[in-house]
Each structure stands twice: as structure tokens, then as C-alpha cells.
Amino acid sequence: MKVKTLILRAPGTNCNVETAFALEQAGAGVTTIHVNQLIRGEERLADYRIFVIPGGFTYGDDIAAGKVLANELRLKLGADIQQFIADGGLILGICNGFQVLAKAGILPWLPDGVAPVMTLTNNDSGKFECRWVYLAANEKSPCVFTRGIERMYLPVAHGEGKVVADPKVLPELNAVLYYTDEHGDRLAGYPHNPNGSMGNIAGICDATGRVFALMPHPERHIRGSQHPRWPGEGAKEFGDGFQIFRNAVDWAKKL
């Protein structure tokens, strides 16, 4: 049986089709659901094994990127999401999904009434960054999604991707991915770190490794021919981002 996967949609979501395709290629059975369907109880998060918040500009990124959807999840679906995690489900947030999970206090998970310990804010460059970046995976991370991954080359497309946290909290964020230069230097600055994220952090997970979010877009590099230099370097069968989706589906099959 295919792993039941829910892709959440809200006004302004624009990467749900590509994300659904990537998961389907990895063997998932995907349903795209509007957030209001969950809020009204027409669909139940508990019926799925993977929950994905894809990229886009939900609610126009009014107030701050992802903030409105984050408030909806926190205030109207917080208990359902907490139970979903407790039951062993996987959660993936991509770009706007990262912003939503962080601002809802879902990643890292925080008790009700506790302010988020990190956020994502405006890029240091003061502009929308839309290009490809090099990434290195944290080999010590418990993240389910990045197992077997060492390096990746993925596109970014965001204006508010800078990870900001209290320096005392930063080491506790369970960093999964770091921006690097082409040689793998995790301390490389702009333009290799496209937004100025503290610690060059590009993605984090929770303590279980089952809740993961990243700013780059793995769904935009699942085929070798999507690499910008494939005509000269040759195309691999799969793009660097595909392993993230395959890992998620393979893990969820065991649940």
C-alpha cells in the first residue's frame, strides 16, 4: 500500500504540485488538502502518515512570512499536530513551510504559551534570493529525511530565510543542513549563505528526527536534468533532492 501523504494548501501556496509529484515518484499516495478542510473536520490529520507544508507565500506572507498560517495551525490544529507527532508521523516543511513550522512553535515544539525560540526573518541582502546553493548535511543529525545524504545542490527562492535565534539556543536547534561553498566550507558567507542565517543553518529537525524543515527546495531537483549544468556535466538519474522524499516514504512504510 502507498503511504498516505497530506500536502497542506492555503491561499498563496504555489509549490504543492511539484511537491506532490516528487512524493508520488517516491511511492507515496498524495492528497492535497486545504487548511480549512482540516479545521472544519472534513479531513483528519490522523489518517495520514506524512504531513507536508510546501513552499509559496501563504496569505501573501502578510505580517511576516508564514505567520498567518502558523497562527491557524497553532490555535486551531495544535493538539492534532502534537498527537500526529506522538503517533510517529513525519512532518516536512519546505521554504514557506519552514517559516510556518517555526512561527507556530511546532519546530522546535513548544508548550502552549511559550514564545518561539527561533524565527526566520528578512535576508541580509535585502532582496529576494532565487538561485542554487550548496548544502552539507549534519552527519550527527537524527533526521529521518536526510539519511545517507552528505552534500546537496538545491535552489532557493525566498526573501525571509534568515534563521535567527538566541546564541545560547542556537546549538540546541538540531541543525540538519548547512549552507556551504562548492568546497563544503560551512562557514562560507554570502553569496553561499544566501540569507545570512546564523550558523549557516539551512534546515533543522526536532529531537525525534521526524519533523524536518528546510529553506531550499528539494522538489525542484528530483531529476538529474533539472541540474542547471547537466548538459555539460551529464545528468544523473535522480536529482539531489529526491532522496529526501524517498527516505520519508521508506520510513513511513514501516509504521
Could you give phi then psi for residue 10, rounded to 5 degrees?
-145, 170
158 is catalytic: no
Nearest to 102 by CA among 217, 213, 16, 209: 213
Could you give phi then psi for residue 34, rounded to 5 degrees?
-75, 145
143 is catalytic: no
Catalytic residue (choose from 15, 72, 95, 205): 95
- The residue count for the chain: 255
219 is catalytic: yes
Measured torsion, CA atoms of residues 190, 196, 202, 203, in degrees rounded to the nearest 10: 180
Distance CA 224, CA 239 (A): 4
Q: Residues 175, 160: contact at Cβ < 8 Å?
A: no
Q: Residues 246, 157: contact at Cβ < 8 Å?
A: no
Catalytic residue (choose from 143, 219, 221, 227): 219
Half-sphere exposure of 127 (CA within 13 A, CB side): 6
- AA identity, residue 12: G
Distance CA 52, CA 164 (A): 23
Catalytic residue (choose from 15, 72, 192, 217): 217
Q: Which residues of 202-233 are buried (b: 16+ CB within 10 A; e: fewer)?
A: bbbbbebbbbbbbbbbbbbbbbbebbeeeeee
The catalytic residue positions are 95, 217, 219
